[in-house]
Amino acid sequence: MKAAEPDEALLLALLNTTPTVGGEVDDRLADPAAARAWIVEHAGDQHADEDLTLLRSTRDTLQALVHGQAAPAALAPALDGVGYRPVIGDTGIEWRLSTPREHTLAARAAVAWDTLRRTAPGRVRPCENADECTLFLIDHSKSNSARWCSMAGCGNRMKARRHYERRKNTRTSG
């Protein structure tokens, strides 16, 4: 499994800011202080002035896109004023994302989603434990067969549930 690119890690962290805790969805960006702490943790102090309304809206749009419930055009607000600028170095030209300061994270997450959509279609998806989990994963496995946000959590629960169902069905049919 390859290590996640920095913006892939940001995308996944943003998608996963609405985990299910105790049966209820917990929006980690709903409270401004908690949202600022999340930003500092995942992107550093230099992004403390990120537009929280746009970041939450971009997160919601990205989640809807992964679920197939939105069109890419819905990301337009996150990409307003975004472009690439050339940086010339000793070995050639490198293209760097250029964004308005107040929505750098929203733009980076949107661009990361689009890059994955083009280069690794179907690799960003919701956890298959949909009854209990609202998290997402980026599948870097060679076989594109990852199904759960975490093998230790959802994977074990789903395998145990299937095992219980098989044993129950064997006892009732035998």
Q: CATH number of 6-173: 1.10.3300.10, 3.40.50.1110, 3.40.50.2300, 1.20.1250.20?
A: 1.10.3300.10
Sign of CA dihedral 9, 11, 13, 15: negative
Our CA angle for 26, 13, 84, nearest 5°, is 135
Model-level pTM?
0.85
Query: Structural domain boundaries of the chain?
Result: 6-173
Digit-coded pLDDT (tens) for 47-102: 999 999 999 999 999 999 999 999 999 999 999 999 999 999 999 999 999 999 99
Digit-coded pLDDT (tens) for 99-154: 999 999 999 999 999 999 999 999 999 999 888 889 999 998 888 878 777 666 67
